[in-house]
Amino acid sequence: MAELTDARIRVPVDAPFLVAARGGRPSRIPVWFMRQAGRSLPEYRALREGVPMLASCFDPEMVREITMQPVRRHGVDAAILFSDIMVPLKAAGVDLDIVPGTGPVVASTVRSTADVFALPRLDPDALRPVGEAVGLLLESLGETPLIGFAGAPFTLASYLVEGGPSRNHERTKALMHSDPDTWHALLDTLADITLTFLRTQIEAGVSAIQLFDSWAGALSARDYRELVQPHSAKVLRGVGDALPKIHFGVGTGELLPAMRETGADVVGVDWRVPLDSAVRRLRDAAPDAPPPVVQGNLDPAVLFAGWPAIEREVRRIVDEGHAAAGHIFNLGHGVLPDTDPEMITRVVELVHELPVGE
């Protein structure tokens, strides 16, 4: 594929993040943080002053700078593109905003067959600033891999159906159970939009992708398999096998094997399930598949507990991660806004000192 011969990509094949993602033995345990680019950094808040969230995502120079900030400050093993799961919907022309302190808010909810058919298609040209930002980042990042990402169809659907963030997802669940045909049409449309967003990033040169199904943990394993999994699988299989694919959700202990079956190389685990248990669940569900690779899973709230507690938890997680064929150290969900950035830097240093395992 073109991206593998792209001279602008200077990421070595033995970059620890890439080796671990493939289930190999890296020179050190790789570490990065979900939401590492964002509100916990004063330099981020200064740059974003007066610029709305979505506007910043369509400004390639701004995306480059915000993506670089945590790489410079913390020395993480991977960068994640500064963007949002709602960016492809915005680019398609869906009327939505990201409201500070609330999250994504959609002007017109999507709840009927007519609403689904009225959803705009995504013209890849509308994502040109995203591709440009990736191109700029290849220059700035040098040997550090860049992770591209997208929201999975279910998590995107939950925002469209509810109209905003939701605790119980009642309207989303009402739609999937009362009108499965409309539900599947909606998720199929969203899978296409997600694929376009990911392909833009892949063609521009990202080294790996993460598919966020943040709210999938709200579903039973049965409903997940029937109503969600085929659409996430369409996305991950559509991406192909040229680069590693991470799949993550919150509260997904019961769903880990089903999420892996969508075609993920790496399964993200939140803090509720110890990594060695997660590995056992994955292995028992698919004894003939390659040994599992996991990402996670420090509770983001532990970063508020003071260094002795943080150190204890990091060491425990690294030990438990030795049960996996590969472990990418991360939080169990995103960095919380009030986190002391100094604690993040110290976690990176500690993880890099700890032994990789057999």
Catalytic machinery residues: 35, 39, 48, 84, 159
> Nearer to ligand CP3 by C-beta: 100 or 142?
100
The SS3 of residue 122 is coil
DSSP string, 286-336: -TTSPPPEEEEEE-GGGGGS-HHHHHHHHHHHHHHHTTSSEEEEEESSPPP
CA atoms of 264 and 301, how far apart (whole Å)? 27
Q: Please work out the total of residues on this chain that contact ligand CP3, with binding judged by CB under 6 A.
A: 23
The amino acid present at 236, given as its one-letter code, is L
Of 30-38, 238-246, 295-303, 323-331, which segment contacts ligand CP3 by CB under 6 A? 30-38
The reply, when asked if residue 333 is annotated as ligand binding, is yes
CB of 217 to ligand CP3, least distance (A): 10
CA atoms of 269 and 248, how far apart (whole Å)? 7
Q: Which of residues 250-269 bind ligand CP3 (CB under 6 A)?
A: none
Angle at 154 between CA 149 and CA 157, to 5 degrees: 100
The β-bridge relationship of strands 96-99 and 103-106 is antiparallel
One of 34, 146, 204, 269 touching ligand CP3 (CB under 6 A): 34
Verify binding: residue 82, ligand CP3, rule CB under 6 A: yes
One of 35, 171, 283, 322 touching ligand CP3 (CB under 6 A): 35
Verify binding: residue 149, ligand CP3, rule CB under 6 A: yes
The SS3 of residue 150 is strand
CA atoms of 127 and 42, how far apart (whole Å)? 28
Distance of CA 353 to the CA centre of its chain: 26
Q: Which of residues 156-215 bind ligand CP3 (CB under 6 A)?
A: 212, 214
Q: Which of residues 91-110 bind ligand CP3 (CB under 6 A)?
A: 98, 100-101, 103-104
The reply, when asked if residue 64 is annotated as ligand binding, is no
CA atoms of 39 and 354, how far apart (whole Å)? 28
Name the phi and psi angles at 246, rounded to 5: -105, 140
Tokens of 159: 């925002």
CB of 158 to ligand CP3, least distance (A): 9
CB of 150 to ligand CP3, least distance (A): 9
The answer to whether 30 touches 329, Cβ cutoff 8 Å, is yes
Cis peptide before 330 (omega within 30 of 0): no
CB of 37 to ligand CP3, least distance (A): 3
The answer to whether 293 touches 325, Cβ cutoff 8 Å, is yes
The answer to whether 119 touches 149, Cβ cutoff 8 Å, is no
The reply, when asked if residue 35 is annotated as ligand binding, is yes
Verify binding: residue 17, ligand CP3, rule CB under 6 A: no
The reply, when asked if residue 84 is annotated as ligand binding, is yes
Of 36-44, 176-184, 279-287, 307-315, which segment contacts ligand CP3 by CB under 6 A? 36-44
Q: Which of residues 38-67 bind ligand CP3 (CB under 6 A)?
A: 38-39, 48, 53
> Nearer to ligand CP3 by C-beta: 166 or 277?
166
Of 76-84, 120-128, 183-191, 253-261, which segment contacts ligand CP3 by CB under 6 A? 76-84
CA atoms of 84 and 66, how far apart (whole Å)? 13
CA atoms of 162 and 96, how far apart (whole Å)? 12
> Nearer to ligand CP3 by C-beta: 16 or 104?
104
Of 75-83, 189-197, 286-294, 309-317, which segment contacts ligand CP3 by CB under 6 A? 75-83
210 has which bridge partners?
A: 149, 246
> Nearer to ligand CP3 by C-beta: 48 or 281?
48
Residue for token digits 């204890």? 312
> Nearer to ligand CP3 by C-beta: 63 or 318?
63
Q: Return residues touching ligand CP3 (CB under 6 A).
A: 34-39, 48, 53, 80, 82-85, 98, 100-101, 103-104, 149, 155, 212, 214, 334
Residues making up the annotated binding site for substrate are: 35-39, 84, 159, 214, 333
Residues making up the annotated binding site are: 35-39, 84, 159, 214, 333
